[in-house]
Amino acid sequence: MRHALKSAGLILTVALSGCRHEADPFAVDAELLDRARGSEASVWYRFDDDLLPRSSGSGHNEAFLRTRFNDVAASILDENGKVMEDTLFPNGSLIVKELWLDENTLGTYAVLLKRTGTQGADADGWVWGYVRANGEVRESAINAGNACRSCHGQTGHIDRTLMNAYFP
């Protein structure tokens, strides 16, 4: 399915090649999936890669999750591997939340990429990705996190992240 995302993006790019104001909506989703699948985000929340049970406040249906950060995002983790209170993630931060159907089956990647001021970023600078492990887009990044921000804005969030609130 990953190939299908890139192929669809190529077709769209060709179709829009005469219009420089249009963005390829599939390119960002494909980029976020590639980055989620890669090793760039390799620092685990609380420095532990164990699966955590779905929290009571989660809007996700999967039974388990675990969250990892790239080096830029990890720069604001404290000595226990938790997000420092009252802080904002710097530009370039990548956060990948793996959502697992069961202890053996990865279902979805929920991805946050901090790109303040770029197309597709929300008012907080986040580009939101929500892509199944097989490459199927659940919620496109072009929607700027519309399906995610209400939950990620609940009390206790730190720059739209909720790991500290539900997994102290």
Composition of the chain by helix, strand, coil, percent to 5:
25, 25, 50
* Residue 66: HSE in the Cβ half-sphere, 13 Å Cα cutoff: 19
Domain count, the chain: 1
Number of H helices, E strands in the chain: 5, 7
**Which residue is it, tokens 């921000």?**
149
* pLDDT for the residue numbered 131: 95
**pLDDT at site 18:** 37
Domain that holds residue 72: 2-166
**pLDDT values of the chain reduced to their tens digit, one per residue, 168 residues:** 444 444 444 333 333 333 333 456 678 999 999 999 999 999 999 999 999 999 988 889 999 999 999 999 999 999 999 999 999 999 999 999 999 999 999 999 999 999 998 888 999 999 999 999 999 999 988 878 778 877 887 888 999 999 999 999
pLDDT at 153 (0 to 100)? 75
| Residue among 31, 44, 39 nearest 111 (CA) | 31
In this structure, the number of other CB atoms found within 10 A of the CB of residue 151 comes to 14
Q: In the 8-state DSSP scheme, what is residue 47?
A: G
What is the pLDDT, as a whole number, of residue 118? 84
Assign residue 147 the CATH number of its domain: 3.50.70
